[in-house]
Amino acid sequence: MTGVSVKRIALFGATGTAGRGAFRALKVAGYDVTCIGRRDAQIIADVTQPLEIAEKFDVVVSCLASRSGSTDDAWAIDHLAHLNILAWAEDTGVGQFILLSAICVQKPKLPFQQAKLAFEAALTQSTLTYSIVRPTAFFKSLSGQIDRVRRRKPFLVFGDGTLTACKPISDDDLGRFIAQCVDDLTLHNQVLPIGGPGDAITPLDQAAALSAFLGQPIRIKRVPVAMMRIIYHGLRIAGFVSSKAAAKADLARIGHYYATESMLVWDGARYDADVTPSTGTETLFDYYAQVIADDTSVQRGDHSVF
Ligand SMILES: NC(=O)c1ccc[n+]([C@@H]2O[C@H](COP(=O)([O-])OP(=O)(O)OC[C@H]3O[C@@H](n4cnc5c(N)ncnc54)[C@H](OP(=O)(O)O)[C@@H]3O)[C@@H](O)[C@H]2O)c1
């Protein structure tokens, strides 16, 4: 970048899983990155309020997201906080906005998906150049059962274990794709579904890989999808009198969605792995092998339901 001024990037959500990957990749690419957040950031700011940040930036990258996915938090963070960031970006002359969204918004059934879509619409109608990155499943979301099967408990699948599939993407491959959006003109003013390398993977494929890496057979326990629906409706009714039950109902609804919908491009009639773009080199199964070899646990955070 000698002789060219280095682009100044304002990064929101840098303390999250995807945000950490984006931070690493933006730094490696040579950008001047400033993290803005409520903690562990160069600029501490409350994104739920109109932003008053005097510093000037060329690009906003947002990996900000509701940690719980609950209805109120999703609208507060995935929608309203992003509107605050967008208004500040427009006021201060930021030219470009790269938004981390999610592939599941293509078939929106959950409040957090509606909130994300509402902000995506506002961004596309703004004056800024935008890239809306909609990744498939993250590795952490597909690693929740490693500890179970290590303890010789069965691997849980919904239906027969092949109801859904995804092309998992690593934090660093996603980070590099986000960083690529800064200067790759073909990624500007685009909505970009993106998966990791290789073929689509079902839950049964995950169990088979874990069995091979652990060197032990894994029992598969099939959970009927109808059971998830019954649990959700029970909690929803209990939620009329208990806010705890209402919060659990939200989680059960999210769980049901991910038990039945694939994280692949939806063509209007079916999920299609072949038209789901791939990027990067890091595979979920290499990651499993590493976690098992190192005997470590995966930190999954509040999004553990998906
Ligand atoms: N998990 C998956 O498989 C998957 C797949 C595709 C897409 N996605 C999408 O990717 C996005 C990022 O996911 P992630 O797992 O990286 O998220 P995450 O680890 O939960 O990180 C969320 C980030 O948002 C910040 N944040 C949340 N609430 C905030 C608040 N009230 N004020 C200030 N900052 C706040 C967090 O900051 P603090 O550290 O201060 O809380 C953190 O930096 C989400 O939109 C998700 O839907 C996820």
Alpha-carbon distance values, 305 to 100, 145, 154 (Å):
19, 12, 18
For residue 20, which atom of ligand 1 is closest to its CA?
16
pLDDT digits (tens, 9 = 90+) for 240-278: 999 999 988 988 899 999 999 999 999 999 999 999 999
Is residue 141 within 6 Å of ligand 1 at its C-beta?
A: yes
The rounded distance, in Å, linking the Cα atoms of 160 and 221 is: 9
Question: Is this structure's pTM higher than 0.85?
Answer: yes
pLDDT digits (tens, 9 = 90+) for 71-99: 999 999 999 999 999 999 999 999 999 99
Q: How many residues appear in the chain?
A: 306
Q: Pull the structure tokens for residue 63.
A: 């990996």
Is residue 138 within 6 Å of ligand 1 at its C-beta?
A: yes
Indicate the CATH number for domain 8-137+169-194.
3.40.50.720
Torsion-angle region of 232 (φ positive above 0: left; ψ -120 to 50: alpha; else: beta): alpha
Domain spans, the chain: 8-137+169-194, 203-300
* Torsion sign over Cα 198, 200, 203, 205: negative
Rg (CA), the chain: 20
Is residue 39 within 6 Å of ligand 1 at its C-beta?
A: yes
Nearest-CA neighbor of 276 among 292, 285, 287, 265? 265
Kindly give the pairing relationship between strand 265-266 and strand 8-12.
unpaired
pLDDT above 90: residue 302: no
